[in-house]
Each structure stands twice: as C-alpha cells, then as structure tokens.
Chains A and B, each alone.
Chain A
Amino acid sequence: SQQGEEDPQALSIQEGENATMNCSYKTSINNLQWYRQNSGRGLVHLILIRSNEREKHSGRLRVTLDTSKKSSSLLITASRAADTASYFCATASGGSYIPTFGRGTSLIVHP
C-alpha cells in the first residue's frame, strides 16, 4: 500500500501562477522527499525535509511539513511551462530507509 498520497491528482495552471501540491501519509516518518518526473523519464530528486523540520526552500520550491497532521505541501512559485511534470512525495518511516512513493500529482503549466 502507498504510504504517501498526493493531492490533487492533476493540476492545470497558467504560467506565472503558483502551484501547490499536498501529500498526506499514515504513519510517523523519518523524512519526506519530493521528486519530479517528466513524462516517461526517471525521477529527479527535488528536496528532502526531515521530520524535525517544518519548512525548506530550494529556488522556487517551498516545502512544508506538518507532522501533527501527517502532511506536507510543495509550492512552486512563478511556474513555468518547463515545470510540467508529475510530482511525487516519498516517505521513509520506522526503521526502514526505503522510500515509499505516492501516486503523484500531474502538473500542467500552460504557456
């Protein structure tokens, strides 16, 4: 079963707008990671946030983590057409270091 579940399943926005994707998970985690996948390609690591962190930034990306709600969000600001991709959250929990991936949010940014 999937540990992390992304929401929404699909998101369509205009270039320049912000995109927010959410990830909810069921059990306590060690860390949470966000990955991007362009159509048919391999996943690319975007950002890792540890369970004791609440917010992290990387360029136009902002990730938050709320362990009390067991959720994380990924915000992409000033989106570009090149941001069109699927975005996955991955969690590692308990004694496991193996990340479990959600089904992803498909983001389309229209130029």
Chain B
Amino acid sequence: KQEVTQIPAALSVPEGENLVLNCSFTDSAIYNLQWFRQDPGKGLTSLLLIQSSQREQTSGRLNASLDKSSGRSTLYIAASQPGDSATYLCAVGVGDYGGSQGNLIFGKGTKLSVKP
C-alpha cells in the first residue's frame, strides 16, 4: 500500500531564507505527484504538478523535483516571505492502471512559518 511521508511536520524560518520541504513515498509506480498549499480553515490550492516522466516543475519562486527511483520529491521555496506561511501537502497519484489510477494519496503536511 502506498504511503506518503512529509518531514518535518513543522518548520520555522526567518524571512528571506531559501528552504526545502521533503516528501517521500513507498511505491515508485506513481502516476504523478502534486504539491498543494493549505491556509488555516481553507481549501487546498494546487502549486505544482509533476508527471511521472518529468524530473521537475517550476512556478515563480517554487521548484519541485521528483526522483521516482528513490521515492522522493522536494519543494524548494526561494527567498521565503511571511505570506508563504501555510501547510504544504504532497500528494501522489496512484499508478495502478486500473480504476484507481491517478487517485491521490496525501502526506500529512509540513506546517511552514516564515517570521518577518
């Protein structure tokens, strides 16, 4: 059964620092991997989607990488800002090419706090 782990559970950094959030998964046969942001009491906002054939995706100050063979993904945030404070969730698209293909399995998230 696929399991997704995010470490650390919480992270506090000063404004301006570059940081890396980690996501690991146990089954490398994934369909894709998606990073989300969740603000308190809100829904999830999609940040980046990496297909299984891709190595990385970039959007603005965000860069996500994928290494399927080692079961790892990282989300790199450059020049962090207080507005980046949120919980970041990693979700793996199931690679079963049956009916459940692409269904998401989530990690528990990393709560990021960026101090001014």
Indicate, yes or no, whether A interacts with B.
Answer: no
Query: Which residues of A are in contact with B by a Cβ distance under 8 Å?
Result: none
Query: Which residues of B are in contact with A by a Cβ distance under 8 Å?
Result: none
